[in-house]
Amino acid sequence: MSLLLLISLLFIGSALLTGLFRSVAQRARLNDVPVSRSAHSAPVPVGGGLSIVVLLLLVAGYGYSVEIIRINELAALMAGLVIACIGMVDDVKQLDIRWRIPAQFLASIYVVYCLGDVPAIDFGLFVFPESLLLNVIAVFALVWLLNLFNFMDGIDGIAATELIAVNLISIVIVINTDELITLLSAGLAAAAGGFLLWNWSPAKIFMGDVGSSFIGFSLGVMALLSMHHGSMTVWTWVLLVGVFIVDATLTLFNRFRRKQRWVEGHASHAYQNAARHYKSHAKVTITVLMINLFWLGPLAWLSMQYPEMGLVIAIVGLLPLVLLARRFGAGVEQFTP
């Protein structure tokens, strides 16, 4: 099957599935009811990200059937189903963090076990070799990444737009070197595109934890797969997901530093403050898209051309984002520019 045909079918399938899930959510009264910190003012159906879950797992199964994906790689990708189920339960009924986090760690440990030791990481001046410590770091990184996408899914369209941008750039980088990552990136980009038709501001359905946690986890698994294949480096992925990494990490750090309860829900991310300031979800989402396409994307490509300079390129790419997140008060409640 040609890549263009696959993307077209998945895009259409995602749009149809999301519409179906919206109808089901409305009938089941599975709505996100606004609270004081919410970015919306009326109840909105939730769980639309399930369309992305279903389609990516189907793509993974197809990849295995045509021998693009090996059995251990398929097993690692299927661990995302556990994360999606946890997210779905959390969407229906708030799941205590004492249940969520251990399950997320178990799924992440399983992924690292399936794929084997994480390849060495080049820091330029030295190489961090394969080791148990690197495997442990990878487990924590997977857990952080899936929660990071959950944190950043707070205004209309932003998570789906980020997913499209990250995976389109990924395709450009690996299309001639890694058939597996090309396939998965195409699947995620197309599925996110169909979902975005319903999620663009004003959103008719939300992604929900079932979608946001799943895509964060799946991107982490893809990052590990690409590192094993030698088609992308950790610094390439840090750049690709740079907007979300910087905002979520700086927000969490500032809330922790201010002795705020960081595990509780809040609306103090930089992107949320920016959306309130400009009174527009679309403006912020489009800005994130532009940053990805015209700043982080080219730097991610450059990090693959000069892998020994990956860390330096990542720092250059992320530093302006840190300044931008500080400008919009990441982690600051009641922020006023």
Name residues whose C-beta falls within 8 Å of residue 52's C-beta, 6 or more positions apart in sequence. 14, 163, 188, 191, 192, 195, 207, 211, 214, 215
Determine the Cα–Cα distance for residues 4 and 191; give it in Å rounded to an integer: 13
**pLDDT score at 41:** 61
Contact indicator for 107, 115 with CB cutoff of 8 Å: no
Which residues are registered as beta bridge partners of 31? Answer: 45
Pick the closest to residue 208 from 58, 73, 28 (CA basis).
28
Contact in structure between 203 and 40 (CB atoms under 8 Å): yes
What pLDDT, on the 0 to 100 scale, is given for residue 40? 61
Given a cut of 50, the residues of the chain with pLDDT beneath it are none
Alpha helices in the chain (DSSP H): 3-27, 50-65, 71-78, 80-92, 97-115, 132-152, 158-174, 179-199, 208-229, 234-240, 242-257, 270-278, 281-291, 297-305, 310-327
Q: In this predicted structure, what is the pLDDT of residue 262?
A: 60
| DSSP bridge pairs for 32 | 44
Would you give the DSSP letter of residue 45? Answer: E
Query: Which tokens hold the place of 10?
Result: 């998945």
Asked whether the beta carbons of 219 and 189 are under 8 A apart, the reply is: no
What is the residue-wise DSSP string for 17-42?
HHHHHHHHHHHTT-EE---TT-S-SS
What are phi and psi for residue 330, nearest 5 degrees? -55, 120
- Please state at what angle helix 179-199 crosses helix 158-174, rounded to 10 degrees: 160
CA angle 156, 162, 163 (to 5 degrees): 110
